[in-house]
Amino acid sequence: MREEDLQQEPTMAAAAEEQMQQLRSKATELLLREEWEESIQLYSHLINLCQDQISKTHHQDSNNRDPDHLSKLHKSLCLSFSNRAEARSKLQDFTQALEDCDRALQIEATHFKTLLCKGKILLSLNRYSNALDCFKAALSDPQGNGNLEIVNGYLEKCKKLELQSRTGSFDLSDWVLNGFRGKPPELAEFIGPVLVKRSEISGRGLFATKNIDAGTLVLVTKAIAIERGILGGQDSGENAQLVMWKNFIDKVKEVVTKCQRTQLLVSMLSTGENEEELEVPEMGLFRPEIEKNGNGFLEKLDMDKILSILDVNSLVEEAVSAKVLGKNSDFYGVGLWLLASFINHSCNPNSRRLHVGDYVIVHASRDIKAGEEITFMYFDTLSLLDKRVEMSKSWGFNCRCKRCKFEDGVCSKQELREIEIGLEKGADVGGAVYRLEEGIRRWAVRGKEKGYLRASFWAAYSAVYSSDRLMKRWGRRIPAMEAVVDSVVEVVGSDERVLKMVVEGLKKNGGMVEFERVMKLGRGFYGKVVKKQAMRNLLEIGIQDQSY
Ligand SMILES: C[S@@+](CC[C@H](N)C(=O)[O-])C[C@H]1O[C@@H](n2cnc3c(N)ncnc32)[C@H](O)[C@@H]1O
């Protein structure tokens, strides 16, 4: 280096130091004011300057190097990455935020602020054991001592969620007993014994890899985007729905841009066309703990494709919990849950879903055998074939489930149609049920197929069983309620209306319907997330005042 350069260097370094100092205080101010975008810009500038200065210092003659100066620069760089990570995480840009955390931790492996920030990001990405490692490491930093309470709080939360996601042991008893009111409990993501495979129904579907008994959890997964609101009257309701739909699309677009893993999975969802040609995703893709940032090739998701995907896969929060949460019948919530998007519809479903906060919980609503496809209902399955055909069309497909195939091919279609028309015209429901049961015998309909027809005419059966007058007249000529309930539950799984009728039967007749039967139905309906004692209370409440 020339003599004059050497003389100029301290002044240039001082100027750079001053510029960095100004940037640091301005960026910190923006961070405190929660102006994330702006603070990110300044931190990026600061990071460049720091790196520049560090490289200049490295090029200096080792005798002239000031080790203190270098270590200050490294500290400043570490803090800048850490703060930029914080700002990026606030904007939900988790991929870049994690990159910043890692760069900060390369400089200082136990940097407390960074470990806390990284732990929180991993926690919100449902990567519980990785988050746990971060919080444990944070405790080993001297700064951790002053923040023991905060770090321990996160550690406990992580441990609980990690256990839930590993074992599927969730307990929503208190929340359900409280009428789904209050803040929904915190949940982990969980994947039970299931696998995505080709389905005979259409495209891909989710299958059980083990026997799963009624009430057992199949999966718990968080929406990648969700939009909720209250729809007003007719016109304003339609408008509100349009605005919500637009916001929902924007949210999906944003997550897809920010997270490659999400983008990859969204691009694999069905657009409703050529489903047989769609790729079957490997299950690892649904496990956030397995770091997977795409395979280098990412299909570009254009707007048309996103719209078709959302049309086919988004679910409306229509579960009882969502209605109570919204405290309003006009409450409407729409979301996209990735793994749940691989579940096909069946009018003979074996699972049901419950919405808890941003999570959807899917549990078996009846016993499922290993190898069986897991299905839930997209629309009401306790209804007649014609109505179901109409609803399936409005979903954009023709239902190809076994029940629809059977009912479509049943030899006695004309007679069934006559019973239906009679009911539409206000014929005696008891007479209709009697005629149907008599037909079932004559047409030699057996086993599960009996349940198919009974589930289709459920409205008539339930009207008879709930009326003392009709039961007096028809009770001895039609099957006992328990037999019909069993065959209907075998077909549609546990259902709120069936459960309600059975609970009312228990209330009226005491011993006629055993409590165990009600408990089994309750388990199929609410799932094992409601524990035995709470379920007893829940159903006893129902027995006392019918408001379960
Ligand atoms: C949420 S996706 C379910 C997964 C889908 N099969 C796949 O391969 O990605 C919904 C789409 O699956 C198909 N589907 C679901 N249930 C069906 C059924 N019962 N009969 C026919 N097609 C069905 C329809 O194309 C529907 O638009």
pLDDT tens digits, one per residue of 362-374:
999 999 999 999 9
pLDDT at 296: 52
Mean confidence (pLDDT) of the chain: 88
* Residue 442: CB atoms within 10 Å: 10
pLDDT tens digits, one per residue of 139-148:
887 877 778 8
- pTM for the model stands at 0.88
Mutate to test the pocket of ligand 1, among 195, 267, 344 (most ligand atoms within 8 A of CB): 344
> Rounded to the nearest whole angstrom, what is the distance from the C-alpha of residue 170 to the centroid of ligand 1?
29
Q: Which residue has the tokens 């637009």?
A: 246
Which is more confidently placed, 69 or 96? 96
Torsion angle in degrees (nearest 10) through CA of 172, 176, 177, 178? 110
CATH class given for the domain over 176-376: mainly beta
Query: Residue 424 pLDDT > 60, yes or no?
Result: yes
- Yes or no: say if 383 and 404 are a contact pair by the CB < 8 Å rule: no
- Yes or no: say if 341 and 378 are a contact pair by the CB < 8 Å rule: no
Which is more confidently placed, 508 or 322? 508
What separation, in Å, do the N-terminal and C-terminal C-alpha atoms of the chain show? 84
Which tokens sit at 204? 């891909």
pLDDT tens digits, one per residue of 213-246:
999 999 999 999 999 887 766 666 678 888 999 9
What confidence category does residue 321 fall into, taking pLDDT thresholds of 50, 70 and 90? very low
pLDDT at 544: 46
Nearest CA to ligand 1 atom 20: 399
DSSP 282: P
Nearest CA to ligand 1 atom 23: 202
Query: Residue 4 pLDDT > 80, yes or no?
Result: no
Q: Which residues line ligand 1 (CB under 6 A)?
A: 201-205, 269-270, 272, 275, 278, 312-313, 341-342, 344-346, 396-397, 399-401
pLDDT at 143: 76
Rounded CA separation 398/311 (Å): 16
What atom of ligand 1 comes closest to residue 340's alpha carbon? 1
At 355, give phi and psi (nearest 5°): -95, 125
> Rounded to the nearest whole angstrom, what is the distance from the C-alpha of residue 344 to the centroid of ligand 1?
5
What atom of ligand 1 comes closest to residue 275's alpha carbon? 8
What atom of ligand 1 comes closest to residue 342's alpha carbon? 4
pLDDT at 546: 39
Nearest CA to ligand 1 atom 15: 344
What confidence category does residue 326 fall into, taking pLDDT thresholds of 50, 70 and 90? very low
Mutate to test the pocket of ligand 1, among 395, 397, 404, 406 (most ligand atoms within 8 A of CB): 397
Which is more confidently placed, 517 or 318? 517
* Residue 38: CB atoms within 10 Å: 15
What confidence category does residue 541 fall into, taking pLDDT thresholds of 50, 70 and 90? low
Mean pLDDT score, 100-126: 95
Task: Give all strands of the β-sheet with 373-376 in edge-to-edge order.
Answer: 194-198, 204-208, 373-376, 344-345
What atom of ligand 1 comes closest to residue 378's alpha carbon? 16
Mean pLDDT score, 267-292: 90
What atom of ligand 1 comes closest to residue 313's alpha carbon? 1
In the chain, what are the domain boundaries? 3-167, 176-376, 385-545
Nearest CA to ligand 1 atom 4: 342
pLDDT at 414: 87
Torsion angle in degrees (nearest 10) through CA of 449, 452, 457, 462? 100
pLDDT at 325: 46
For the chain, helix (H) and strand (E) counts, in that order, are 24, 11
What confidence category does residue 289 fall into, taking pLDDT thresholds of 50, 70 and 90? confident
pLDDT at 388: 96
What confidence category does residue 18 fall into, taking pLDDT thresholds of 50, 70 and 90? confident
Query: Residue 301 pLDDT > 90, yes or no?
Result: no
**Residues sharing a CB contact under 8 Å with residue 324, sequence separation 6 or more, in sequence order:** 179, 180, 181
Mutate to test the pocket of ligand 1, among 269, 270, 273 (most ligand atoms within 8 A of CB): 270
Q: Does domain 3-167 have CATH number 2.40.50.140?
A: no
Nearest CA to ligand 1 atom 26: 272
Mean pLDDT score, 299-323: 80
Count how many Cα atoms sit within 13 Å of the Cα of residue 380 in the half-sphere of its side chain.
14
What confidence category does residue 323 fall into, taking pLDDT thresholds of 50, 70 and 90? very low
pLDDT tens digits, one per residue of 370-388:
999 999 999 999 999 999 9
Please state the ipTM of this predicted complex.
1.00
Query: Residue 90 pLDDT > 90, yes or no?
Result: yes
